[in-house]
């Protein structure tokens, strides 16, 4: 058991939209990601998804509204809700998701990550 320094973990990678696993607990995984630009519209049919903003501002677009998340804020997206993250500038985010979640939900694209690298 060792402490995890999130700032140090972010220094280990530069890829955008490619979450890195920093831990697991009770069937859930903690992922760090750097985001910039627009992701794709997608849905997680069986899993809720938590976005916690560590740096920057992230917009989550829904079909009927946009939610803006700033540093220190989080949003839980219920399963089955279609959404599209948008980062106008680089954003650092902590994601809390079930181990079985698919990165791009119900959509396969060039952004899909099959297995999250542990750092």
Give me the CATH number covering residue 55. 2.60.120.10
Residue 41 counted as domain residue: yes
Largest CA distance in the chain: 44
> 74, 119 in Cβ contact below 8 A?
no
Asked if the model's pLDDT at residue 31 lies above 80, the reply is yes
Of the given ranges (37-41, 70-74, 76-80, 103-107), which has the lowest mean pLDDT? 103-107
User: Within a domain: residue 27?
Assistant: yes
Could you tell me the pLDDT band of residue 25, with boundaries at 50, 70 and 90?
Answer: very high
Q: How confident is the model at residue 46 (pLDDT cuts 50, 70, 90)?
A: confident
Structural domains counted in the chain: 1
Cα 37 to Cα 5, 6, 51, 87, distances in angstroms: 26, 22, 16, 5
Residue 109 lies in a domain: yes
Q: Cα(83)–Cα(42) distance, rounded to whole angstroms?
A: 6
Q: Where are the alpha helices (DSSP H) in the chain?
A: 6-10
Query: What are the tokens at 32?
Result: 């760090």
pLDDT for 74 equals 98
Does residue 110 belong to any structural domain of this protein? yes
Q: Which pLDDT band holds residue 105 (cuts at 50, 70, 90)?
A: low
Residue 114 predicted with pLDDT over 70: no
What pLDDT score does 118 carry? 87
Distance (Å, rounded) from C-alpha 9 to C-alpha 86? 23
Mean pLDDT of 34-60: 94
**Domain around 13:** 6-118
Instruction: Determine, yes or no, domain membership for 1.
Output: no
**Predicted pLDDT at 115:** 73
Which pair of structure tokens corresponds to residue 15? Answer: 């890829």
Phi, psi of 23 (to 5 degrees): 175, 165
pLDDT digits (tens, 9 = 90+) for 80-93: 999 999 999 999 99
Cβ atoms 34, 14 nearer than 8 A = yes
């Amino acid at each position: 058991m060792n402490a995890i320094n999130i700032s140090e973990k972010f220094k280990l990678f530069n890829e955008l939209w490619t979450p890195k696993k920093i831990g697991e607990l009770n069937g859930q995984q903690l992922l760090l990601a750097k985001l910039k630009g627009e992701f794709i519209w997608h849905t997680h049919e069986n899993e809720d998804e938590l976005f916690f903003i560590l740096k920057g501002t992230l917009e989550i677009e829904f079909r009927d509204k946009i939610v803006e998340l700033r540093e220190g804020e989080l949003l839980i997206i219920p399963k089955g809700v279609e959404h599209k993250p948008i980062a106008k500038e680089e954003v650092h985010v902590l994601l809390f998701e079930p181990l079985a979640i698919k990165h791009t939900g119900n959509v396969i694209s060039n952004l899909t990550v099959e297995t999250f690298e542990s750092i």
